Amino acid sequence: MNDNWKFAADIDTVREQGVAGFYIEGHDVALYAVDDTIFATENQCTHGEARLSDGFLLGDEIECPLHQGRFNVRTGAAMCVPVETCVRTYPVKIEQGRVFIALHEETASLPRG
Ligand code: FES
């Protein structure tokens, strides 16, 4: 396995919570259970000091708990005011019920949504 892939969590833990935050080698990462798979983003909202894992997952969008800005968890796209800057996403793979993320690779980034 490529050293860049880091164990993040058991998939059952993420599914039970819907959205959950994990510290992985000093990185604050949010994992989301959507449509039988898992997505990962940076956990810090790009608008202020809030952890997205404390927000509400609505389909494939996470609503920030502080000002209710929303991001698409598949792409990181900023979906509505007040958020204007996309949140970083991470590649995810699942092996034997365990979720791994590539900490140092970004998935394709989109322009602000
Ligand atoms: S801190 Fe997230 S929308 Fe303001």
Per-residue pLDDT tens over the stretch 3-50 = 789 999 999 999 999 999 999 999 999 999 999 999 999 999 999 999
Say how many Å lie between the CA of residue 12 and the centre of ligand 1: 28
Identify the pLDDT of residue 85. 97
- Flag whether pLDDT at 76 surpasses 80: yes
**pLDDT per position as a tens digit, 78-88:** 999 999 999 99
The token pair at 71 is 């991001």
Identify the pLDDT of residue 112. 47
- Are the C-beta atoms of 79 and 45 separated by less than 8 Å? no
Pocket test for ligand 1, best of 66, 81, 112 (most atoms within 8 A of CB): 66
Identify the pLDDT of residue 110. 54
Say how many Å lie between the CA of residue 35 and the centre of ligand 1: 25
Residue 80 Cβ inside 6 Å of ligand 1? The answer reads no
CA angle 12, 28, 15 (to 5 degrees): 15
* Mean pLDDT across the chain: 92
Taking residues 51-74, what's their average pLDDT? Answer: 98
Residue 11 Cβ inside 6 Å of ligand 1? The answer reads no
Q: Which CATH architecture has domain 5-102?
A: 3-layer Sandwich (2.102)
Domain ranges of the chain: 5-102
Residue 64 Cβ inside 6 Å of ligand 1? The answer reads yes
Identify the pLDDT of residue 9. 97
Identify the pLDDT of residue 75. 97
pTM: 0.91
For residues 15 and 77, what is the distance between their CA atoms, to the nearest angstrom?
Answer: 22
